[in-house]
Amino acid sequence: MAGLRRKLEFFYDLLSPYCWLSFEVLCRYRNIWNINLQLRPTFLAGIMKDTGNLWPLLVPQKNKYLSQELQYMAKFYQVPLVIPKDLRGVIIDKGSLDAMRFLCSVEMENPEMLEKVSRELWMRIWSQDEDITEPKSILIAAEKAGFSEEQAEFLLKKCSTEEVKKKLRETTTAACRHGAFGLPTIVFNVNKKSHMFFGSDKLELLAHLIGSSDSGLKRQASFLLKDRSWETLEVMWEWIPISGNESAVGQRDTSPLRAKSWAVGVEKPLPSKAFWSLEVPAGEYAWRWG
């Protein structure tokens, strides 16, 4: 899949745990799939209202099933997802408007930080069962993502401007124009044609459309970090090939790996939880740790 990266738009809202699952997979495999991943913060409540769709939470049987399904998917995709105790309060009562406006503010001012801030907010709501609606909560997530206190406060103040509000409305409208009736909505553009996928269970179909002979979704390596220093990572690793060299499956070693030569996009100090995709120089293997 050499050549120019093809655009993939990811419309998401922090209220959806399925958005988080899809987000992590797309971030892991954007290099392998050779895609230009564009994150599009969207207001899920607006889509639900415009399309007349019902929140799954309001359908008892569906809500029961989805709660079980999320546990399976979290384990499969290795995402530390935990369902909040007061799920109705999180989804229906509190919502995500202020947090999504904040992400739009980040997208407009510091787009290179959008992935990190989104992840920190998802960690708060869907892993730590913490608030994402209060200004203090949003600032904590922003600073954990790497913003200074001053930068985070500036972005938060910008959320009240018509410019940011309009940005969120326009992105939500764009999702609806693509046919969205919920989130996540993925729009992949190839050969001057847009293909829309809904939900986190369509990633294999997306990989097929992209042209990957192996989606790689099940081919991940788990890292157990013994030393989180920047100079050397003492790890036990299992390498699993993305393509070719099938005899390598299952081999293990405890050799030290040099972070500067292996870790793409990692900044020091290493975070307590990370979701990074790494590739060996030959490009044959994909790695992650968490």
Query: Which amino acid would we find at residue 204?
Result: E
pLDDT at 11 over 80: yes
pLDDT at 229 over 50: no
Tens digit of each residue's pLDDT (9 = 90 or more) over 117-165 = 999 999 999 999 999 999 999 999 999 999 999 999 999 999 999 999 9
pLDDT at 176 over 50: yes
Tens digit of each residue's pLDDT (9 = 90 or more) over 240-289 = 333 333 333 333 333 333 332 233 333 334 333 333 333 333 333 333 33
pLDDT of residue 5: 83
DSSP letter (8 states) at residue 110 = -
170 vs 234: which has the higher pLDDT: 170
182 vs 243: which has the higher pLDDT: 182
pLDDT of residue 212: 60
pLDDT of residue 45: 96
* Contacts with 191 (C-beta within 8 Å, 6 or more apart), sequence order: none
Average pLDDT for the chain: 79
Mean pLDDT, range 68-76, rounded to an integer? 94
- Looking at the domain 6-186, which fold is it? Glutaredoxin (3.40.30)
Mean pLDDT, range 102-109, rounded to an integer? 98
pTM of the model: 0.75
| Cβ proximity of 159 and 139 under 8 Å | no
For 44-100, what is the HEC assignment? HHHHHHHHCCCCHHHCHHHHHHHHHHHHHHHHHHCCCCCCCCCHHHHHHHHCCHHHH
Q: How far apart are CA 232 and CA 227, in angstroms?
A: 7
CATH 3.40.30.10 domain extents, the chain:
6-186
Helix axes 149-158, 97-109, angle to 10 degrees: 110
